[in-house]
Each structure stands twice: as C-alpha cells, then as structure tokens.
Amino acid sequence: MSIDQIIDNIYLLPDASKSILKDSFEEVRYPKGHILLRADKIEPNLYFIHKGIARAFAYSGEAEITFWFGREGDTVLSMKSYVENHKGYENIELLEDCILFELNAAHLQKLFLVDLHIANWGRRLAEQELIKTEERLISRQVRTASERYGQLINDNPDLIQRVQLVHIASYLGITRNSLSRIRAEIR
C-alpha cells in the first residue's frame, strides 16, 4: 500500500499538509525475524507497513502471547510510547521481509503544533488504533476460539499462508492441537 493510500485511509488532508507529512516519512527495509519494537523501551518511531506482515507479542512466563497481526497498510507503534512517551509493553516481530514507512514521533508532535490538519490526522490515527484494540479485546472476551478463527480468516484470508500456525494459535488463546481441530471442523 502506498504512503498516499495509508495517509488518506487515516484522514484526508489538504494537499499542502499532506506534502509536509509525506516529506517526514522515510522508507526502511528490515528482514524477516527482525524485532522492530521492543518491550520496556521508549520507541521513538512509528511505522506503516508498505509490504509485509508483523505480529505484536508479549511474554507470559516463558511463553510468547501474540495479540496482534499487522499487514500492508497497518500502523505499527507502541501507543504507550506514542501517546505518553513511556516504555511500551509489546514486542513487534516482522514475519516477512518488510518495507515500512518510518515516522519519528517527536517530529510528528512538532507538526501537530504548526498544522491543525496534521494534528487532526494524528488524532484520527490514535482513534482508529483505539477502536482496533477495543474490537480485539471484546472479541477475545465474548467469542469462542472457533468464532475468532472464522473472523480472522474471513477478514484476512491470506493470513493462514503467511503466518505460522503457532502464532495464530497463540493469538486465538488456544493450543496448536486445538487450532488443528478447529481447522478440521471448518473444512
């Protein structure tokens, strides 16, 4: 997804504001397996996925708990770092070689002070991320693992081919064997 599409999907900006914002992005590339964001660290940048897929995870004892997948067009950020400039709690791992658009959060905060349109874009970005988080939380609380799996493959049909099943099982809060049973029931 192009940077123009990503920006427009968040909030439509006048041409002059969009040009200023676009000039603030840098295209970066990282290999599969790269840890883009680390827990317990203030992350200075936010990213938008141009090409590739990522996952957010946290440790629970020795286990990794996956709680988010991001793909083309999605935002990758630590909300704790972005909003409060505090250490985040998540790790973001790239599951494919990725091309990303990087944006420095401190620079973006300065743009908010000089351009109301960009400030509104940033507000809308935070609102969209909050809604996505709320939807994941509610889904985890009220839907069964089978329902969550069905929703996942309905919303992201190519995810099964792009992500290891162990990460999908973790995301659903079930074991790999339980995921195999769910997949067999659906076929």
The per-residue pLDDT for range 145-160, each reduced to its tens digit, is 999 999 999 988 899 8
Residue 152 included in any domain: no
pLDDT digits (tens, 9 = 90+) for 39-87: 999 999 999 999 999 999 999 988 999 999 999 999 999 999 999 999 9
pLDDT, mean of residues 110-123: 98
Residue 113 included in any domain: yes
Residue 106 included in any domain: yes
Residue 94 included in any domain: yes
Contact 129, 79 (CB under 8 A): yes
Residue 168 included in any domain: no
Please state the domain count of the chain. Answer: 1
Average pLDDT for the chain? 95
- pLDDT given at position 68: 94
Q: Percent of the chain beyond pLDDT 70? A: 100
* Domain range for 107: 3-142
DSSP string, 125-153: HHHHHHHHHHHHHHHHHHS-HHHHHHHHH
Provide the 10 A C-beta neighbour count for residue 31: 10
- pLDDT given at position 146: 92
- pLDDT given at position 81: 94
Residue 82 included in any domain: yes
Beta strands in the chain (DSSP E): 26-30, 35-37, 45-51, 54-60, 63-70, 75-76, 91-94, 98-104
Q: What is the CATH number of the domain that holds 104?
A: 2.60.120.10
Residue 19 included in any domain: yes
- pLDDT given at position 109: 96
